Amino acid sequence: MKVVRHTKLLLLFAVLFGAVFIESCKDIKVEQNRKLVREFDSSVLLRWNDVFLKLDRYAVGYRPGPVPHALGYLGFAAYEAVAPGMPGYNSLANFYPGLAIPEFDEAEEYYWPAVVNEVYAYLMKRFFFHMENQYSDLFQSIEQTRQQLYDQYAQETSPEILSRSVERGLQVAAAMYDWEKTDMEAHNAFLNPQPPYNAPQGPGFWAPTLPDFVNGMFPFWGQVRTFALAEEEQLCRPPIPYSENQQSLFYSQAMEAYARVKNIQDNGPGAYEERWLGEFWSDDILGLTFSPPARLIAVANQVVEYESINLEESVEMYAKMGMALNDISVAIWQSKYVYNVERPVSYIRRVVSQQYPDAADWLPILNNPIAGYQGVTPGFPAYPSGHSGFGGAGAKILSSFFEFNSKHPGTYVFTDKCHLSRSEFNGTPRTLSSFSELAREDAYSRIPLGVHFRMDCDEGIRMGELAAQRVLELPWRN
């Protein structure tokens, strides 16, 4: 009896040990085969950002607010879709009431580039639907890109994993778009970029400027939802008090814009560098280049490609970039329409001309070759500067990834080749010693161009850096 009992115990132990061993082997096998996001490269994001930049160049009604808004939701959606494959990272969905990201099956394997592919295709078709008729080739490039990448991934993974990955991307993108639609001031705002707006009247207040006298664009964009910037931080500091006194700081800043433009027009000292600076960072003209906020994505693409960072790093970086650009667009445009500061061209022609008669005909050097206008000023108030805000936000995000770390213990030196192929203006690449220098160039290029006062640029950079800081402070990691 002892022998039989002992034998039964041995058999039971063997069965239990075998089951544990088999189960253990299953776990090990799954862990070995299931790829994480960091094991893939950034090519899917670089490909989709390239498509975005091409669409952005011609997207009517998208400048300035809807561009960073779209970038924010695209980046955030991609991050949420693949975050389960990024150990140590958190979903941020619970911080945003009404956003319901579908549950993730941890027992299954996903091909993460395919997830990102579907997220971008789904959202971009909806963000740019108004281009389907007028720019059909560009709009069709969205589906063409999705299909090309899908076909590539079909050769790299199994049909089952690919199908599951596609479904994950579609579900998260749909959930993000449903949430985006609840932001009524932002959703499809590009269809009506110039709603009725009763601007204050009188000296010092903004009014439509020559030569095209465009009405105020996106006067209510300050009501759009932000990702991280608190409501009390969305109004910038008051501008320098308005004054027509020649000894005042306001007058002095107007004189700076007047003199620098005049020096360029007269081909004075440093005129070539000043014109190059202004035109290189402009990105103002629809149909000519991508937009000012998208410029930061174009810069990021160059750095990401050069550094060959992986998909995990790039998903995080583009999410933070898009969300920071969205938030600063809201803060800048709220501030613009609270203070309603007039543009240099209005002040210079009206006030400076009393001392310098030739100022009566003064114009910025920003031209629109598409519409045939010369001396253009963007159609919204001056203070603070949008370019400066976008530059400050984007540069701080880039710095957080590529400066003062083990790989780059100091600043990051790079050459911006965004406009290498341009012939309409001087697109010669510019080498920058840091991302801080990028922000400063982007911002202060607006003064020699003649469209901003220095105070606009100062405060724009400060606000942009604040917006980026608040995004960086979100609990991205455990």
Instruction: Tell me how crowded residue 472 is: count the other CB atoms within 10 A of its CB.
Output: 15
Element (H, E) at 430: strand 430-432
**Paired tokens of 306:** 């050069």
DSSP notation for 23-39: HHHHHHHHHHHS--GGG
Class of domain 35-472: mainly alpha
Q: Do 369 and 382 touch, CB atoms closer than 8 A?
A: no
356 Rama class: left (phi>0) / alpha (psi -120 to 50) / beta: beta
**Paired tokens of 65:** 């607010």
Instruction: Tell me how crowded residue 417 is: count the other CB atoms within 10 A of its CB.
Output: 14
pLDDT, residue 17, reads 39
Mean pLDDT, 10 residues at a time, the chain of 478 residues: 35 39 36 82 98 98 97 98 97 97 94 98 98 97 98 98 98 98 97 94 96 95 98 98 98 98 97 96 97 98 97 98 98 98 98 98 96 96 98 98 94 96 92 98 98 98 98 97
Around 243, how many Cα atoms within 13 Å sit in the side-chain half-sphere?
Answer: 13
Q: What is the DSSP letter of 383?
A: S
Q: Do 52 and 294 touch, CB atoms closer than 8 A?
A: yes
* Sequence letter at residue 132: E
C-alpha distance from residue 288 to each of 63, 310, 422, 461 (Å): 13, 32, 9, 25
Instruction: Tell me how crowded residue 235 is: count the other CB atoms within 10 A of its CB.
Output: 14
Domain ranges of the chain: 35-472
Instruction: Tell me how crowded residue 358 is: count the other CB atoms within 10 A of its CB.
Output: 10
**Paired tokens of 425:** 């203006």
